[in-house]
Structure 1
Amino acid sequence: MVHSGETLAQELPYDPETLRRINEHPCYSPEARHSFGRCHVAVAPKCNIQCNYCVRDFDCVNESRPGVTSMVLKPEDALERIDEVVSKMKHIKVVGIAGPGDPLANPETFETLRLVHEKYPDTILCISTNGLLLPDKIDELEKYGVRNITVTLNAIDPAIGEKIYSFVEYGGKKYHGREGAELLLKHQMAGIEEAVRRKMLVKINTVYVPGVNDTHIPEIAKKVGAMGVFNFNIIPLIPQYKFKDIVPPTPAEKAHMHELCAPYVRQMRHCQRCRADAVGLLGKDVQNEFGCCGKGDGSGGGCN
């Protein structure tokens, strides 16, 4: 099936509740970003893989990129923050957990989901994960009402994956090189397949790394489109850590990549590369307007 980047959810054979989770989620509907917002709660500091482009700075108020937050919150403090946000911003429809580490590698994620699901059963809950633990944790996600899942999938060829990941940690053991890339890919594919089978809405994030996975990205799009994922988000590399010397793709190159991938899967073209504590409409974050000082686990050093 050929998808346009602007395909309307209403044209698809979804039930009313699934349509709501599309039409009120700013990442799943281009139109929703103008009317509906999200509240990310940063409760997940630990990560179980190391990407060669990833630096997680907890105490940074001036950067807007994945992995950044001003403070890591405890679950009960996250709920208080959500209470404050939704009391002041009625257009907030989504509560997301996107780090600063991998949500599924942190038990605090599931306690937060439980608290939010019990108090706000109609709120759209979503998580963003590298997918390593998705097959292991998908029952818990379903239990707490998570029906929107983003998986960062940067390669479907381990020979390319091993260039992107320094290590993968699973079952108390660290895997490096090709072995780590193969393990991660195996779990990602199994998790995505199972999430789609359970009729969850799956979004794929792929980091566009020139000279590493750029020619491979259309193959990723073709594979996940055939698996039944909802949409595909291409994220230009932010040069840092081991990839700090790679020149990121230009907007024109990113737009061209979307066109190469569009025949296979619906494209998300409006990503703002959200912080782990983002609040508000996409591109109009207001997280600094909400208090958090004196709370959290101390990892972030407090609010600035």
Structure 2
Amino acid sequence: MSDEDRRDSLADQAAAWVPPWERPRPPAAEPDTADAASDITAPSPATDDLAAQPPVQEPVSAALPADLDRAEPDRAESDRAESDRAESDSAESDSAEPEPGEPVVGESSEAAGVPRRQAAGRRRVTAAPEPAPELSDTELRGALEAILLVVDEPVSELVLAQVLEQRAERVGPMLDEIAAGYTAAGHGFELRRAAGGWRLYTRPEYATYVERFVLDGQSVRLTQAALETLAVVAYKQPVTRSRISAIRGVNCDGVIRTLVTRGLVEECGTETDSGAFLYKTTTLFLEKLGLNTVDELPPLAPFLPDDVEELADATR
């Protein structure tokens, strides 16, 4: 066979060659002819070159069934719908208030038989305390007057506001208005501030009549020594007993004990240098004199004698 015939034969074989994955599967049988055996055992160079080339791969989408292509979008849509449904359920659970008897967050959910994960989505609902109703001016005036009639010591504006459950800003001006009304009406009593609070007192111009009724032959006045000692304590406080004795010129231990027993004087610490007890006046003292603070005590200058300096020099 010539070279030209051989080339034609190889071209025909290459054109007629079918890849193995496209060939129909032949029935299992042994070859009958020797030519078939020779073709298998001795392939031509052209067929070897073609066999060495990599097989042509078809796209994956072509190998997949058509039902699988349609299933993917359906699955994505179902997942998206499921996610939207879960978000809407969680929003409804957050906004919904717990029904009566249901445990809320902060309470023992497990003890009530509700899992912690379910109770976490619920919020505590607590009712705010209702503020006390605000009294009218007439009611507030009457309530204040009723309380002031029964108190045995001056009461502050803050205490009155707490008892009546009203704002302290209303109680102070109302007390001033009540006091001004009593004075304008000319009552035998008055409302005034004393010892840091408010209390009803009789007017000074009716003191003689009150003394007749209260005393009725009884002598409850302080002695001259007690009055002098009390005056020294009031103007010199805090002061020691030795200092009081030095000012008065006599021993005042017994008088101090009397004043402490009656509640007009009390101890207020010790002196740094000597360690002696210090004394001052009490709230009862201010209440009895109708004073708010000791700063309201009258000045001593008008009551001092003209030769006070000469007397002081003589005592030295």
> The TM-score by the shorter chain falls in which range?
under 0.3
Larger Rg: 2
Higher relative contact order (CA 8 A, sep 6+): 1
Structure with more of its chain in helix, by fraction: 2
Report the TM-score, using the length of structure 2 for normalisation. Answer: 0.19
Report the TM-score, using the length of structure 1 for normalisation. Answer: 0.19
Structure with more of its chain in strand, by fraction: 1
